[in-house]
Structure formats: structure tokens, C-alpha cells
Chain A
Amino acid sequence: MKDTGFDYLGSESVTDVARIVMALMSEVWIMRDRQIVTEYLLETQESVTRAQIDNFVPQGELAALIAAERDRFARLVAGAPIAATKRSVAEILERAGMAASEHAA
């Protein structure tokens, strides 16, 4: 077996690694949400300030769109381990937030 170098963390640290992954997941989502909010504000007004983004609270259709995107993000990231075994076309489409087509098994 190829030497992969010194095992600094050890297998008992896998929970620590998972915490790091979850923290990154949170940071990525916060940026993704900020991007959606920024795009929305730019579509509805000519310019946007940092304070407007910080204080903006999505409502109505935009809030529903963000919630759907957020749930899809959570399914894909936190559900990555089960994607190794739950691999039917219907399951893959469901995780992606898409309805199963007539071609799904």
C-alpha cells in the first residue's frame, strides 16, 4: 500500500473533520444566499449598498425560491453519504430538487 504520510488527525478525529465540513457548508450557504439577495436587489433597483443587503429580509416568492434552493443545498451536501447507495434515477432527481421524469426507474 502506498504510504500516505503521517496520520496527523487519526481516525478518531473524523467527527472533528465533519464539524469542519459543516462549518464550511454554512459559510458557503451564507454566501450563496447573499448572492441571491444581491442579484434580486440589482434586478429591482439600479444600485445596492452593503447595508441594504445586510438588512434585507426576503418575502413572498423570493423567500420561497431561496427556501427551495436551501433545502436542495442541504440535501445534496448533508445527504452526500447516502448518495453512494441511494442511486436510482428517481432518488438522484429528488436530491436535485427535480421531479422524476417518465424515464425514471
Chain B
Amino acid sequence: MTFLTQLEDVSLQQQGTAPSFALSQRGRSGFELLGSVQKFSSGTLRPLAEESFVATPEGKALSADHASAAPVRSERERIAAAKALCASDNVFRLERFIQRYVAEQNFNHGIPAIEERRAEFRAYEAAMESGLLGTLDIDVDVVVPSYYDRIEWHLEPGGWDGYDLYGALFAFGVGPYVFSHGGYAAVAVGDDIAQQRLNTIRQFPKNEYARIYEPGCGGVSTLKAVHTVFPDAALHGSDLSPLLLRNGQKMASRFGFSVHLRLADSATDTREADESFDGVITYALHHELPPKANRALFREMYRIMKPGADIVISDPPPFRAVPLFHAVILDWDTEHREEPFFTTALHDSLDEMLREAGFDAVESYSIGHGQYPWITRARKPLKLAEAA
């Protein structure tokens, strides 16, 4: 689930639809410092900590065991031992402290920075409410799963719907000034997250798709990338956040493409017809779901996909696919960036889940630095007999 984070997109400026106001000097410069500090932490401190880790005899031995085809210790034991070793290093602790600090400040600094411009942002949003493209179906009673309702994802106060201007906060603050540098969660420092989305969409094996669905589509950042690669495809998505869906439709309209969005728990009922989609994309979704919900979601995707349809997934890499120090960095998000299912998801196997749901041609691989984006893709068999 993601917000649209590239409102400063050049194409908007060319269309003359970019906002004509900016954050205050305080708002802008405070955000910019968070970006610089995070870049320093990820780009300088983290490599120093990794160097120290692999230089110790214990770190070297643990790393070798982790990379072995027949490791002596279990994955959980290796990561637990590596975490303890990392925690004894001052530079590692400083780097982690800065990561946490920036994650907190994205909101502690960001909410007042946006609030200073409330009138301008409200007017900007109101202007977007006319001439909306596509459809938005949110006037329904959806049972919100208990795991979702109690979580302030990524330290976001009140959760996805906790502040009416979160869309602006990500589009005008966190996105351009902090996330644009990479170096947080699974994203490597210097990586361009907009380009990563496009590269992910290009993993669809066919040249054309008539109808593509995205569960957990959030603010339609990924559907925007889908539209870029497959401009003729009809785009459908669902999410549990009404705020994200409203913002998603506005932003898609602003960029000039249609989306059909529904409030739904895509793990239980998308409210879509059987065998009605040619492709499914999921982006940064599965690490935010408990294992049972992930398995249920794949069964639901299988139901709504046509025979021969493709599913492409981008999620953080499993622990088995990354060096041990990197596994410690990823594991840290679970306890420190309000990602309660991150560790569980990275120990698990999306490949196995897809096979359990009936998919075939399952494969997984990396298309970027630090094994991210990590792609998993599969196909619904043309005939049930072919899956046997």
C-alpha cells in the first residue's frame, strides 16, 4: 500500500496542473534536512556498520552459515545472533537511531509543515474534485480486519486515515524530500522508487493486458506505473482506506487516466466477478498482511483471474535471498517502524503460497540493488488439468 509521491512530476508541470504554492521555508528546509540525514545514515554509517560486522570472527561465521546451502543454525537463530552482534556496535546503533528518528519526524515535522498550508492544500484538493475520471465505490460496509484497525503503519499517527491531509504530506513532503533519496526499509540508498515501480510493471510477460487489478492499491502510485506501461489497460483496485482511495482517484484524474476503485478487504472479498482480470499486480503489500490473510488473498486473486492470467508481485526480499547483515536491517522494521508482519512475511515464501493457491510458472528474482525490488510472478493455469 503506497501513496502517490511524485506530484512534482514533470508531466504535471508541463500540463500546468502542478500546484502554484509551496511549503514554507521552515517546512521545506526541515524536510530537506531529514532527507540529508537519512542519506548520510544509509549511505555512510550503514556501510561502516556492515564492514565492522563482517570483520568480526562471529559475524564472518554467521554470514557464511547464512549463505550456506545447508546451514547449521535456523534462519531465526542466525538473525537473532547477528542482531545481538550488531547491537554491540556504536555505529550500528547510531544508524538505527537515525532511521527511527527520521521515520518519526516524517510526521512530527511533516504534519505541522502541511498544516501551515492547510487552506492552500484544501483549495488544491477541491479543484481536483471536478471532472473526476473512472469510478469510486466506497459507500459500503466493509468489515475491517482486526490486524489492520489497530496499526499505525510506518509510525503514521492514527493509521492511513489518521489525518485528512496525509496525501499532501506524502506528495509534497516525505515523497520528494525524504523518500526520493532511498535508503529506508528495503529501498537502497540512491534508488528511484518511481523507476522501481515501472521496472516492476515491465515484469509482466505479455505485451498487452485488457484488465489489470491491484489489491491494496492505496493512492494509485503503482496503477500510474501500470498506465505508463500498458496505456490501454482498464485499471481496477481496492483498499481498506477510504482516504487513500479518494486521493487515488483525484490523483489519477489529475494525471489524465481512469481508475475504478473499491473499498474492499481483498483478502476476503474483492466484490469482483470470477475470471474477470487478465493481470494482477501487488506492490509492497504482502509484508503488511499476516500469513493467513496473504494466503486468503492469493485464493481470491486466483478466483478473479482469467485462466492464463499473470500475477506480478513486488515485496521486500525474503531473508534467505539477502546477506545476513541486510537481513538484520530488514528485520529491524518489524519492531521499530510499526511493521508487525514484516519478519513473519520475510521468513515465509510467497512462491509456496502461490502454488498452494493453484498458480503455476512460479518464479522469484531480484531486479535491483540489495535484492530490491524482489519480484515474484506466476500464472493461473489455462486449464485445471495443466496444473496437475
Partner-B contacts on A (CB < 8 A): 15, 18-19, 22, 25-26, 29-30, 33-34, 37, 53-57, 66-67, 70-71, 73-75, 78-79, 81-82
In the complex, what residue of chain B is closest to A74 when comparing beta carbons? B36
B25 touches which of A18, A22, A54, A82 (Cβ 8 Å): A54
For B34, what are the chain A residues with a Cβ–Cβ distance below 8 Å?
26
Interface centre among B29, B39, B98, by most chain A C-beta atoms within 10 angstroms, is: B29
Q: Is the CB of B382 closer than 8 A to any CB of chain A?
A: no
Asked if B30 contacts A54 (CB within 8 A), the reply is no
Asked if A30 contacts B40 (CB within 8 A), the reply is no
Q: Is the CB of B24 closer than 8 A to any CB of chain A?
A: yes
In the complex, what residue of chain B is closest to A70 when comparing beta carbons? B36
Q: Is the CB of B371 closer than 8 A to any CB of chain A?
A: no
Asked if B90 contacts A30 (CB within 8 A), the reply is no
Give the distance in Å from the alpha carbon of A74 to the alpha carbon of B183 in the complex: 15
Asked if B33 contacts A82 (CB within 8 A), the reply is no
Task: List B residues 1-58 near A (Cβ within 8 Å).
Answer: 21-22, 24-26, 28-30, 32-34, 36-37, 39-41, 44-45, 48
A29 touches which of B21, B33, B44, B90 (Cβ 8 Å): B33
In the complex, what residue of chain A is closest to B23 when comparing beta carbons? A57
Give the distance in Å from the alpha carbon of A82 to the alpha carbon of B90 in the complex: 9
| SS of A interface (majority) | helix
Asked if B25 contacts A56 (CB within 8 A), the reply is yes
CB distance from A18 to the nearest CB of B (A): 6
| SS of B interface (majority) | helix
Asked if A71 contacts B109 (CB within 8 A), the reply is no
In the complex, what residue of chain B is closest to A18 when comparing beta carbons? B97
B28 touches which of A15, A57, A81, A82 (Cβ 8 Å): A57
Q: Is the CB of B94 closer than 8 A to any CB of chain A?
A: yes
In the complex, what residue of chain B is closest to A71 when comparing beta carbons? B36
Q: Is the CB of B101 closer than 8 A to any CB of chain A?
A: yes
Give the distance in Å from the alpha carbon of A105 to the alpha carbon of B258 in the complex: 60
Q: Is the CB of B91 closer than 8 A to any CB of chain A?
A: yes
Asked if A25 contacts B33 (CB within 8 A), the reply is yes
